[in-house]
Amino acid sequence: MNQLPDGKRYRVVQWATGNVGLRALRRAIEHPSLDLVGLWVHSPDKVGRDAGELAGIAPIGVKATNSIEDVIALKPDCVLYMPHIMNYDEVCRLLASGANIVTTRTEFQNSKALPADILARVEAACLHGNSSIHGTGSSPGFITEAMPIVLASIQRRIDCISIDEFADNTTRNSPEMLFEVMGFGKKETEPNPARLDHLLHAFGPSLELVADALGLGFDDIRVSGGLGLARKDVHIAAGVVPAGTVAAMRTVLEGMRNGKPLMRFTATWFVSSDVDTSDGEQWDFRDSGWRVRVEGDCPLNVGIRFPVKDAEDYAQMTPGLTAHRPINVVPYICEAPAGIQTTVDLPQIIAQLG
């Protein structure tokens, strides 16, 4: 059932205040059915500060803490768990205390991908606390699960679902993220194996969740990639990408069935389209957004773009792509049965906007 209890309010704690966490914090404060009762922060200099102040609005009387004991003592209905690094001890303690969790961590989007010992610990914690946990976000999440499931609902035969993600990073003023983490501006000729492995484990389980739900499943999942080397120096908001270094990267995940791709996810992240590609192919460069194509008895081609041109406005918009769906999920996970709940297990998420 999709119906939620009328007038019910939910006590929530925001866990971590990174770029996405800060957006979730503000939206939790503003939400008509949520009461922010706590805030966990990693940085010592944020401890004791008002949650409203950190969110960029007026003080609300909720002080930040870095103590899990403080969070548990608040007896929240739900914790919005959004750290950069997964800590299963923290997750299990929160769940065993009776707090439900919605997280942007990809580890919980498909319980099938969890190591057996971790899965057993989490399930035991949920049983002890009569609590549930759900992992979601924009990508993976919305575009790899919610959207394909909706598009598949008007099909009776699916040959392949292809999801393309385009991310133009020219206006993103995050030098450390772009140059150190993502690898733009590096003198490489082949994709970093660690990056391919990361995307395989981040996106593969999400795609597999949908395939299994459709009763089709994968025989295996393959990952490949390529790099685009700049033909000339590229000046972007974060700095300069010299000629001959990485200015674009493409990663392709394919869930195979009977020797053919059943689901395909292609991520094309770039700071320039004027590149020589390592695979010799002509890549498709589009404005930031997604394209979902369904090959089947009712073929579909759906394009999603973000019509925000100003760099400052774009930077303000993008955290919401990941933060807002977890906020909208809170009432649903609080009413769900105990255990790990996936997109397939929960009802369709309807945002409460007023």
If asked whether residues 323 and 234 sit together in one domain, one would say no
CATH number of the domain that residue 62 is part of: 3.40.50.720
If asked whether residues 105 and 202 sit together in one domain, one would say no
Q: Give the pLDDT of residue 72.
A: 98
Please indicate, yes or no, if residue 306 is contained in any of the structural domains.
Answer: no
If asked whether residues 186 and 290 sit together in one domain, one would say yes
What is the share, in percent, of the chain residues with pLDDT greater than 70? 99
Say whether pLDDT at 153 is over 80.
yes
Structure-model confidence comparison of residues 145 and 173, the more confident one? 145
Q: Give the pLDDT of residue 2.
A: 62
Sign of CA dihedral 119, 121, 125, 130: positive
Number of domains in the chain: 2
What is the rounded distance in angstroms from the CA atom of residue 107 to the CA atom of residue 112? 10
Please indicate, yes or no, if residue 50 is contained in any of the structural domains.
Answer: yes
If asked whether residues 206 and 334 sit together in one domain, one would say no
Please indicate, yes or no, if residue 86 is contained in any of the structural domains.
Answer: yes
Please indicate, yes or no, if residue 217 is contained in any of the structural domains.
Answer: yes
Please indicate, yes or no, if residue 281 is contained in any of the structural domains.
Answer: yes
CB 90 within 8 A of CB 100: no
Say whether pLDDT at 6 is over 80.
yes
Q: Which of 151, 152, 95 is nearest to 123 (CA)?
A: 95
Region at 242 (left for phi over 0; alpha for psi -120 to 50; beta for the rest): beta
Q: Give the pLDDT of residue 173.
A: 83
Q: Which of 290, 296, 145, 293 is nearest to 210 (CA)?
A: 145
DSSP 244-303: TSEEEEEEEEEEEETTEEEEEEEEEEES-S-EEETT-------SSEEEEEEEESS-EEEE
Structure-model confidence comparison of residues 145 and 172, the more confident one? 145
> What average pLDDT does the segment 302-314 reach?
86
Say whether pLDDT at 254 is over 60.
yes
Instruction: Print the domain residue range for 81.
Output: 10-137+318-340
**Chain segment 27-77, per-residue pLDDT in tens:** 999 999 999 999 999 999 999 999 999 999 999 999 999 999 999 999 999
Please indicate, yes or no, if residue 245 is contained in any of the structural domains.
Answer: yes
Q: What type of residue sits at position 167?
A: A
Q: Which residues, 6 or more positions from 113, have their beta carbon under 8 angstroms from its beta carbon?
A: 107, 201, 204, 205, 208
Q: Calculate the average pLDDT of the chain.
A: 95
Looking at the whole model, is its pTM more than 0.85? Answer: yes
What is the rounded distance in angstroms from the CA atom of residue 127 to the CA atom of residue 131? 7
Q: Judging by beta carbons within 10 Å of its beta carbon (0-12, 13-18, 19+), is residue 161 exposed, middle or buried? A: buried
If asked whether residues 113 and 245 sit together in one domain, one would say no
What is the rounded distance in angstroms from the CA atom of residue 276 to the CA atom of residue 315? 28
If asked whether residues 82 and 185 sit together in one domain, one would say no
If asked whether residues 80 and 128 sit together in one domain, one would say yes
Q: Give the pLDDT of residue 308.
A: 84
If asked whether residues 211 and 165 sit together in one domain, one would say yes
Say whether pLDDT at 1 is over 70.
no
Q: Any idea which of 103-117, 206-220, 302-316, 321-335 has the lowest mean pLDDT?
A: 302-316
At residue 302, φ and ψ (nearest 5 deg) are -115, 125
> What is the Cα Rg of the chain in Å?
21
What is the rounded distance in angstroms from the CA atom of residue 47 to the CA atom of residue 284? 46
* Residue 159 to residues 218, 255, 258, Cα–Cα distance (Å): 13, 12, 11
Q: Give the pLDDT of residue 228.
A: 97
If asked whether residues 205 and 115 sit together in one domain, one would say no
